[in-house]
Structure 1
Amino acid sequence: MNPDEFIRKNIIKKLIELGYQDGVALELAADEGVSHFRRCSQASRRGAIFDDCYHVAKTWIDKYGSKPAMVSKRRAKQTIKQVSMF
């Protein structure tokens, strides 16, 4: 497995773990990550080239892809029927 295949496979795997489901958008985001890998001459810090490529892919899918379904973490309001005093 060459570095391009490694980056593509793991970007898709991490985006699926985050809840993205659209196959075409995942492929295009992975392509953007691999494209960044080919263009960059060095990572932002030592040993973080995959993190940089993943950041580019996630930014791309957030902007152009479909958002994952978010579940509300709030509790639903419980309506209490107030008894009238009069």
Structure 2
Amino acid sequence: MQVWRLACLSSTTPQPQVAGPPARQALAINLIRLRRERGWSQEALALEVGLHRTFVAHVERQVRNVSLDNVERLARVFGLQAFELLTPHP
């Protein structure tokens, strides 16, 4: 059993390459775009979501690692699903 486990872990199967920006960058770009479309400040968005203004600022500057719970909260305010905030848009 142990040998099989090691063989699976050391597999050299190539991983698919993901095109587009990292999820943190896509989230930041989408938040800024959606917030501006609604004419909201970072503070207004934070109040809508129930988060602190500095948290929203950190997410938009990509210096904060966001939990899935908070991504869902942010998405709900915009009437979206969480994956849509993480999907790059043209």
Smaller-chain TM-score range? 0.3 to 0.5
Q: Could you tell me the TM-score, scaled by structure 1's length?
A: 0.34
